[in-house]
């Protein structure tokens, strides 16, 4: 039997194939919320990509800047040697002949001795004389090199680029042969030593590092929250994501550092963070409080649901402020005589503020351990709730309306970041640290939706080490 001949199917096909019915209005609201959320996620995705790119460029730029300093330093050392004035520790001073000035008389004014330098990689032997470096044959695997007496550093000069400058090297007939010479600094103690300003900071063998430090930091912070919801609460979370937004605030504190190793330090301290968020579409509801005529002390209370719980807002005799009433952010009036009279169009927003005292424990590792350094940091922080308030904001007007219920008094957050530091002197250092803090626990205890606040800050400060 073909399907068209089935008389049970036929009426269903005829009537239902193009059946139409008007869907409930909230379907579009749900779709629009999801699309808006997608859009925000995309924006966040791009912002984070751009931020990551900037961070990578910053790291690469800093690394390049610091690494390129090294060859310049070496060159400066060589230049000093090429100048021809080299001091010995035994107070003997050797004047290296000026090539350009004396290449006409072709005489060696400095005494020379034969120095033998063992070459393990090649069998080449070189004699250094005023006429240049001359490969010679020797019976054993050693160099026979003529160098000025007492000039133990002389082999350093062999890596000077082949050019005619004021220096001891004269009449280089085969500049290429210079480059083939292997440099053995370990064979000849560098008693004269070039002046390397970076070695002053970076030489771990010589300089003992400061173990302790105290400092202070401040930062503008962007704070918001991440919602964790499942099942039926997911649509509520989606709704809250639409009507709520983060706020820019501030943080700061004092810190103590202990550095068991030169590159690694442990930091603690006491910080203060002013965090929060905004709930948009705040309605100003006029309420008819029947009792107010007889008892002016009775008040109207509105409970405003949001992602962090309920704001228990205590208001005046006959007015109340609430958030958007559809669909999850409901409100109620505590006074039995009160009833809703009118809800005006959205006029402002509700600002929730949470203040925390933070006790961090942070590890810092200096990837670039120089005067201009670069470091990574990570750790944990115990955060104690010390302030909790909610305000209604309408333009320039700001009015405190209550507090948020069921906030957890002690919270824990992870801390990750990176930073650059610059030593303005041996003891004082300034730093700039982009830092991300994420609350590991939900800050509310009574809500089905878990709210994890996070902050992004650019902490900058001063550190004194000793």
Identify which of residues 26 and 341 has a Cβ nearer to another protein in the complex: 26
Q: Rule CB under 8 A: say whether 204 interacts with another protein.
A: no
| 28 is an interface residue for another protein by CB under 8 A | yes
Of the candidates 353, 408, 354, 362, the one whose C-alpha atom is nearest the C-alpha of residue 270 is 362
396 binds another protein (CB under 8 A): no
Contact between 167 and 81 under an 8 Å Cβ cutoff? The reply is: yes
Which of the ranges 23-31, 267-275, 288-296, 311-319 carries the binding residues for another protein, by CB under 8 A? 23-31
Measured CA to CA, the distance from residue 67 to residue 51 in angstroms comes to: 24
Q: What angle do CA 275, 281, 287 make, to 5 degrees?
A: 110
Rounded CA separation 25/175 (Å): 87
Closer by beta carbon to another protein, 231 or else 260: 231
At its nearest, how many Å lie between another protein and the CB of residue 374?
39
Residue closer to another protein by CB (options 25, 105) is: 25
Quick one: which of 285, 218, 300 has its CA closest to 253? 218
- Taking the least distance from each CB to another protein, the nearer of 46 and 212 is 46
Q: How far is the CB of 305 from another protein (least distance, A)?
A: 22
> Which span sits near another protein by CB under 8 A: 2-10, 126-134, 139-147, 178-186?
2-10
Name the segment binding another protein (CB under 8 A); options: 35-43, 45-53, 144-152, 434-442.
35-43
Residue 21 interacts with another protein (CB under 8 A): yes or no: yes
Residue 444 DSSP label: B
Question: How many residues make contact with another protein (CB under 8 A)?
Answer: 29
Q: What does the DSSP assignment read for 111-127?
A: -EEEE--B-SS----EE
Measured from the CB of residue 235, what is the shortest distance to another protein in angstroms? 9
Q: Which stretch binds another protein (CB under 8 A): 31-39, 111-119, 133-141, 332-340?
A: 31-39
CB of residue 332 to another protein, shortest distance in Å:
25
Residue written as token pair 């350093």: 156
Cβ proximity of 280 and 382 under 8 Å: no
Question: 31 or 109: whose CB is closer to another protein?
Answer: 31
Under rule CB under 8 A, residue 1 binds another protein: no
Phi-psi region of 72 (alpha: psi -120 to 50; beta: other; left: phi over 0): alpha
Residue 351, number of CB atoms within 10 A of its CB:
19
Are the C-beta atoms of 178 and 60 separated by less than 8 Å? no
Report the nearest approach of another protein to the CB of residue 15 (Å): 4
Question: End-to-end CA distance of the chain, in Å?
Answer: 95
Give 51's DSSP letter: H
| Alpha-carbon span 425 to 365, nearest angstrom | 20
32 binds another protein (CB under 8 A): yes
Q: Tally the C-alpha atoms within 13 A of residue 114's C-alpha that lie toward its C-beta.
A: 9
Could you give the C-alpha distances from 300 to 115, 226, 288, 319, 405, in angstroms and in order? 100, 32, 9, 7, 17
CB of 240 to another protein, least distance (A): 17
Give whichever of 10 and 48 is closer to another protein, judged by the CB atom.
Answer: 10
Sequence-ordered strand ranges (E) for 3-92? 85-87
15 vs 104, beta carbon nearer another protein: 15
- The only residue of 2, 8, 92, 186 in contact with another protein, by rule CB under 8 A: 8
For another protein, the closer of residues 71 and 232 by Cβ is 232
- Name which of 9 and 200 has its Cβ closer to another protein: 9
Q: Which of 20, 107, 137, 140 binds another protein (CB under 8 A)?
A: 20
Query: Please, which residue, 28 or 422, has the CB nearer to another protein?
Result: 28
Asked if 326 is part of the footprint of another protein (rule: CB under 8 A), the reply reads no
* Residue that is written with structure tokens 């007007």 in the block: 397
- State the residues that interact with another protein by CB under 8 A: 3, 6-13, 15-24, 26-28, 30-32, 34-35, 38-39
């Amino acid at each position: 039997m073909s399907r068209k001949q089935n008389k049970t199917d036929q009426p269903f096909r005829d009537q239902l194939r193009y059946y139409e019915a008007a869907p409930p209005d909230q379907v579009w609201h749900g779709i629009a919320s999801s699309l808006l959320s997608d859009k925000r996620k995309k924006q966040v995705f791009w912002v984070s990509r751009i931020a990551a790119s900037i961070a990578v460029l910053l790291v690469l730029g800093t690394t390049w800047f610091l690494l390129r300093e090294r060859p310049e330093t070496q060159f400066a050392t060589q230049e000093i040697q090429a100048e021809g004035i080299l001091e010995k520790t035994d107070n003997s001073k050797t004047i290296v002949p000026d090539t350009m000035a004396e290449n006409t008389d072709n005489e060696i004014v400095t005494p020379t001795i034969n120095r033998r330098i063992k070459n393990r990689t090649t069998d080449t032997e070189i004699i250094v004389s005023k006429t240049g470096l001359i490969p010679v044959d020797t019976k054993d695997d050693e160099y026979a090199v003529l160098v000025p007496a007492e000039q133990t550093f002389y082999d350093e000069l062999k890596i000077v680029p082949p050019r005619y400058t004021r220096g001891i090297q004269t009449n280089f007939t085969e500049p290429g042969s210079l480059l083939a010479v292997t440099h053995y600094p370990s064979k000849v103690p560098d008693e004269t030593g070039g002046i390397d300003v970076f070695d002053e900071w970076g030489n771990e063998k010589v300089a003992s590092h400061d173990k302790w430090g105290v400092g202070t930091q401040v930062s503008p912070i962007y704070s918001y929250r991440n919602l964790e919801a499942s099942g039926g609460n997911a649509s509520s979370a989606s709704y809250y994501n639409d009507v709520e937004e983060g706020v820019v605030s501030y943080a700061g504190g004092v810190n103590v550092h202990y550095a068991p190793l030169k590159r690694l330090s442990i930091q603690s301290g006491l910080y203060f963070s002013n965090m929060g968020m905004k709930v948009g579409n705040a309605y100003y509801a006029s309420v008819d409080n029947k009792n107010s005529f007889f008892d002016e002390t009775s008040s109207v209370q509105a409970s405003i649901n949001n992602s962090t719980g309920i704001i228990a807002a205590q208001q005046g005799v006959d007015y109340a402020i609430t958030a958007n009433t559809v669909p999850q952010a409901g409100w109620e009036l505590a006074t039995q005589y009160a009833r809703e009279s009118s809800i005006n169009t959205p006029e402002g927003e509700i600002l929730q503020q949470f203040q925390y005292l933070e006790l961090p424990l942070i590890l810092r590792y200096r990837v670039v351990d120089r005067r201009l350094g670069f470091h990574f940091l990570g750790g944990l922080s115990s955060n104690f709730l010390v302030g909790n308030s909610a305000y209604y904001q309408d333009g320039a007007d700001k009015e405190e309306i209550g507090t948020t219920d069921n906030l957890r008094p002690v919270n824990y957050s992870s801390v990750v970041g990176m930073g650059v530091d610059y030593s303005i002197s041996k003891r004082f250092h300034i730093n700039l640290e982009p830092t991300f803090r994420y609350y590991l626990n939900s800050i509310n205890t009574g809500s089905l939706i878990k709210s994890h606040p996070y902050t992004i800050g650019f902490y900058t400060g001063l550190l004194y080490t000793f």
